A and B are shown apart, each in its own frame.
Chain A
């Protein structure tokens, strides 16, 4: 199963034509259910189990979304129940530690506390922190159009296993915030992105960062007033698993009644060959849990 993950990862590095020609269409697993624990187990089971992602005695870095000082039921952050379960499973699979760096928008203390994620990480044995200035490292983004350099959390850069676990919700500037947009919580200078075509910067950064696994929390989605909310909520009760960020994000747009290319950064990332945003070419596997 490691092989599948590896081919998926390598395929996203190639230009768009390469994967469509080779016929290795990206696969995403959409798990429906009500219990996050069972849904997570079902999704990971389809992907070949945790051992395909978690290397024994090595760290797992979990990039979730705990950006806002809002309550779990408001849908502004990743669901703490999901986070807790994920960290427990990673540790059970042999991870040395699960590290959760988050450069939140609200004050870190308030965001971690109110979102319930700080407590969930602590309970499950992970380590969550808000990165300080010295914990960022400047990297060059070779394929970046607008974003050519970025200061990224060192743990994210050096992670043997990097899991991206965003929550799906609307966003004033980027239309929707999904897996590719979630990386803004791992960089220090978000202002630069806003000043230099946000959508292009999101796509640029996605050419650089390669998560081992993406799990989009679409248990409840905020459909108005995102990203902070409070806004109206919808309850798709889904988790979206995949390794192709563009495909995962493209599917998630449909939960909001949108087309994938309505979201500009998905279109840009698709055109830059980060992944496949054309849902006709994505293998979508629905799983009940």
Chain B
């Protein structure tokens, strides 16, 4: 009977991993909200909601898990978490477990730093959320034009796997901030539960409650049941928790003020609907959802064009393709709201950059060729024609340019394009007049 129970658990866990993979690789086209798999994490959605001071549909997706943690503590970790299951499997590769009792329980500290920095509007370390890492790993494998740069969001789960291969259970027990948050919630829930239970006649033994709340790390590692996997133990005092929270808030505030942001025009061009450059570097969890969602594959991880804090944030690359006028898919999949949801009208009216013609390279200006492919491809009539040497030459109408990159991606000038889009923040541009 026990064996049968274990089998059922294994099947459920594999099923959850499969579901998470399906959601991460976004193969359900009509379910754009469900495509944001990481937003199932209450830690991520809470940080995002606090940082942006908005509650959206995305934030609500994290609620079931929040409620579950209040009732059952780390039940999700033990029975559902797909990252945890992958790590358990990796951990099994190593027969002899290294002792890691002396490794400090960092999880709750990290969780509080994340929440604290979110309070100051610049959430830090969002990438440590295990669901984000899971999503990052599975969302990067795209077919066309794949380069190693596209694969970078997968790194955090790979590193996690390597750590687990050396020290099994280290992540789940000592570092995972989502796990620690659930433990904390469980503790709060238990305290509340005690109050209720005390009122009722049937008060269960304190030991039973503790056993339920501080359940084992993994059902597959029963020997760990005896050890205390309680990440929250050192933060039982509210004062210490408050201090760490305040530290996170100060750190977030300092980084928000002092962080290096390379401004336009040299900086990265962000997807439509992206929050300000300053905000984005914190709010983006580097989950790779937008990169996966983009049907043109033009959203790639930034390697530092936007400053050191911009590492792995999404930026647009117009070297092959461009941001289609009728597409707004990336705006619907961000779990943290770093890319806000836009209506199609709002997206079409939004300027994300500014094209510039380099007359020394331009076939028309420089070589008197009948080209103006940029004019042809501009859907917003932001390229106007001026005659020069009897040939039509392109000029950018800056008020209308959306920075969509259609001109850049089609410019036939070689070796480098003669019309290039630069960043200029995001602003509304007027709709075509004629």
A232 to B376 alpha-carbon distance, docked (Å): 15
Asked, given contacts A199-B370, A225-B434, whether A172 binds B324 with beta carbons under 8 Å apart, the answer is no
Taking a contact as CB atoms under 8 Å apart, the answer to whether B370 and A197 are in contact is yes
Which residue, A105, A107, A171, A172, has most C-beta atoms of chain B within 10 A? A172
Contact of A195 among B326, B363, B378, B381 (CB under 8 A): B363
Q: Which residues of the partner chain B approach A225 to less than 8 Å between Cβ atoms?
A: 381, 434
**B377-395 to A contact mask, C-beta < 8 Å, 1/0:** 1110100010000001000
Asked, given contacts A110-B326, A191-B412, whether A198 binds B369 with beta carbons under 8 Å apart, the answer is yes
Asked, given contacts A107-B324, A110-B326, whether A228 binds B377 with beta carbons under 8 Å apart, the answer is yes
Contact of B392 among A172, A192, A195 (CB under 8 A): A172
Q: Which residues of the partner chain B approach A191 to less than 8 Å between Cβ atoms?
A: 373, 412
A243 to B363 alpha-carbon distance, docked (Å): 34
A107 to B410 alpha-carbon distance, docked (Å): 12
Q: Which residues of the partner chain A approach B381 to less than 8 Å between Cβ atoms?
A: 225
Contact of B378 among A173, A224, A228 (CB under 8 A): A228
**A165-207 to B contact mask, C-beta < 8 Å, 1/0:** 0000001111000000000000000111011111100000000
With both beta carbons as reference points, the residue of chain B lying nearest to A109 in the complex is identified as: B295
Q: Which residues of the partner chain B approach A228 to less than 8 Å between Cβ atoms?
A: 376-379
**A98-140 to B contact mask, C-beta < 8 Å, 1/0:** 0000000101001000000000000000000000000000000
A173 to B369 alpha-carbon distance, docked (Å): 9
Q: Is B375 an interface residue (CB 8 A)?
A: yes
Asked, given contacts A105-B376, A194-B371, whether A230 binds B392 with beta carbons under 8 Å apart, the answer is no
Taking a contact as CB atoms under 8 Å apart, the answer to whether A173 and B373 are in contact is yes
Which residue, B324, B326, B370, B381, has most C-beta atoms of chain A within 10 A? B370
A107 to B327 alpha-carbon distance, docked (Å): 12
Q: Is A69 an interface residue (CB 8 A)?
A: yes
A227 to B377 alpha-carbon distance, docked (Å): 9
With both beta carbons as reference points, the residue of chain A lying nearest to B413 in the complex is identified as: A195
Secondary structure dominating the interface of A:
loop
Within 8 A of A (CB), among B127-185: none
Asked, given contacts A69-B326, A194-B412, A225-B381, whether A172 binds B369 with beta carbons under 8 Å apart, the answer is no
Taking a contact as CB atoms under 8 Å apart, the answer to whether A230 and B372 are in contact is no
Q: Is B432 an interface residue (CB 8 A)?
A: yes
Distance of B54 from chain A, by nearest CB (Å): 33
Taking a contact as CB atoms under 8 Å apart, the answer to whether B434 and A198 are in contact is no
Q: Which residues of the partner chain B approach A198 to less than 8 Å between Cβ atoms?
A: 369-371
Contact of A230 among B371, B375, B376, B432 (CB under 8 A): B432
Q: Which residues of the partner chain B approach A171 to less than 8 Å between Cβ atoms?
A: 376
A194 to B364 alpha-carbon distance, docked (Å): 9
The 6 closest A-B pairs by CB, nearest first: A191-B412, A198-B370, A172-B372, A172-B375, A194-B371, A173-B370
Q: What are 15 A-B contacts with C-beta separation under 8 Å?
A: A69-B325, A105-B410, A172-B385, A173-B392, A174-B370, A191-B373, A191-B412, A192-B412, A194-B363, A195-B371, A195-B414, A198-B369, A227-B376, A230-B432, A231-B434
Known: A172-B372, A172-B375, A173-B372. 6 other contacts (CB 8 A): A105-B377, A110-B324, A173-B392, A190-B412, A194-B370, A198-B371
